[in-house]
Chain A
Amino acid sequence: MDTLRELLARLRSFFRKQARDEDLDQELSAHLDFAIEDNIRRGMAPEEARRRALVSIGGIERAKEEHRDSRGLPALDTIVRDLRYAVRTLRRDAGLATFAVLIVGLGVGASSTVFSVVDALLLRPLPFDDPGRLVWIANGQSENLSAQTVQVANLLELREHSQSFSVVAGYSPFYGAGDIRLTGTGEPERLTGVPVTEDFFRLVGIQPQLGRFFTAEECRWNAPKAVVLSHGFWQRRFAADRGIVGRSIILDGAPATLVGVLPASFDFASTFTPGSRADLFYPFPLSPETNRSGNMLALIGRLKPGVDLRTAQTEATVIGARIQTGRREGQWRNAFHPNLSTLRDRISGRFRYALLVLAGAVGFLMLLVCANISNLLLARASARQKEMAIRTALGAGRWRLIRQMLIESVLLSCCGAAVGLALAFGGTSLLARLDGTNIPLLQGVQVDAAALAFTLAIAVLTGIVFGLVPALQASASSPHSALKESSRGSIGSRDRAWTRGSLVVCEIALACVLLTSAGLLMRSLVSILDVELGFDTDSVLTLRIDPGRAHSTHVQQLSYFDRVLHNVRSVPGVQAAGLTDALPLGENFGWRTWTLSAKGQVYERDRRPHALVRIVDESYLETMRISLRAGRSFTHADNASAEPVIMVNETLARTLWPGENPLGRLIRTSGDRDWRVIGVTGGVRYFGFESDSGAEMYLPIRQSGDFNTVDLVVRASRTPSELAPRIRAALKTVDPNMPATRFRTMRELVDHSVFPRRFVVLLLTGFAGFGLILASLGIYGVISYSVTRRKQEIGIRMALGASAGNLQRGIVAQTLVLALVGLMIGVPAAWMAARAIQGLLFGVTSSDPVTFAAVLALLVAVAALAGYLPARRASRLNPLDALRCE
Chain B
Amino acid sequence: MTPKKLDLMQGTLDVMVLQTLSTMGSLHGYGIARRIEQTSGNQVLLNQGTIYASLVRLQQRGWIAAEWGTSENNRKAKYYSITKRGARQLASDVERWGRLSDVMSRVLSATGEDSG
Contact = CB atoms under 8 A, between A and B. Distances in A.
A binds B: yes
Interface stretch (B15-23, B43-51, B96-104, B106-114): B43-51
Interface in A9-66: 9-10, 13, 20, 23-24, 26-28, 30-31, 33-35, 37-38, 56-60, 62-63, 66
Given A28-B49, A63-B49, A2 B76 contact: no
A91 B48 CA distance: 44
A2 B61 contact: yes
A63 B75 contact: no
B52 A27 contact: yes
Contacts of A27: 28-29, 52, 77-78
B77 A56 contact: no
A69 interface: yes
Contacts of A5: 60-62
A70 B33 CA distance: 18
Nearest to B49: A63
B76 A10 contact: no
A6 interface: yes
Contacts of B47: 56-59, 62-63
Contacts of A37: 73
Given A5-B62, A13-B60, A30 B78 contact: yes
B40 interface: no
Interface in A69-84: 69-71
B53 A66 contact: yes
A53 to B, nearest CB: 9
Contacts of B62: 2, 5, 9
Contacts of B59: 9
Contacts of B76: 26, 30
A70 B30 contact: no
A602 B31 CA distance: 114
Nearest to A26: B76
A67 interface: yes
A63 B53 contact: yes
A311 B59 CA distance: 63
Contacts of B71: 34
Given A56-B48, A60-B49, A30 B28 contact: yes
Nearest to A38: B34
Interface string A678-722: 000000000000000000000000000000000000000000000
Interface residues of B, number: 25
Interface residues of A, number: 31
Contacts of A30: 28-30, 75-78
B61 A31 contact: no
A28 B56 CA distance: 13
Contacts of A6: 57, 60-61
A28 B33 CA distance: 12
Main SS of the interface on chain A?
helix
B26 interface: no
Contacts of A60: 49
A169 to B, nearest CB: 60
A164 to B, nearest CB: 58
B52 A58 contact: no
Contacts of A63: 47, 49-50, 52-53
B75 A57 contact: no
B67 to A, nearest CB: 12
Nearest to B76: A30
Given A6-B61, A57-B47, A59-B47, A31 B30 contact: yes
Nearest to B63: A2
Interface in B64-81: 71, 73, 75-78
A2 B59 CA distance: 11
A34 B30 contact: yes
Contacts of B50: 58, 63, 66
Given A13-B60, A63-B53, A70-B53, A34 B48 contact: no
B77 A34 contact: yes
A138 to B, nearest CB: 65
A2 B75 CA distance: 33
Contacts of A28: 49, 52
Nearest to B78: A27
B77 to A, nearest CB: 4
Contacts of A34: 28, 30-31, 71, 75, 77
A31 B53 contact: no
Contacts of B31: 34
A69 B53 contact: yes
A38 B31 CA distance: 11
A56 B29 CA distance: 13
A327 B76 CA distance: 103
A67 B53 contact: yes
B49 A71 contact: no
Nearest to B77: A30
Given A30-B75, A34-B75, A59-B47, A67 B60 contact: no
Interface string B6-39: 0000000000000000000000111101100000
Given A27-B78, A35-B30, A70-B54, A9 B49 contact: no
A57 B46 CA distance: 8
20 contacts: A5-B62, A6-B61, A13-B60, A23-B78, A30-B75, A30-B78, A31-B29, A31-B30, A33-B75, A34-B30, A35-B48, A56-B48, A57-B47, A58-B50, A62-B47, A62-B49, A63-B47, A66-B49, A66-B52, A67-B52
Q: Which 8 A-B pairs have the closest CB atoms?
A: A63-B49, A58-B47, A9-B60, A66-B53, A34-B30, A70-B53, A71-B56, A70-B57
Interface of A: 2, 5-6, 9-10, 13, 20, 23-24, 26-28, 30-31, 33-35, 37-38, 56-60, 62-63, 66-67, 69-71
Given A31-B29, A34-B28, A62-B49, 12 more contacts: A2-B62, A6-B60, A20-B56, A30-B28, A30-B78, A31-B48, A34-B71, A35-B30, A62-B47, A67-B52, A69-B53, A70-B56
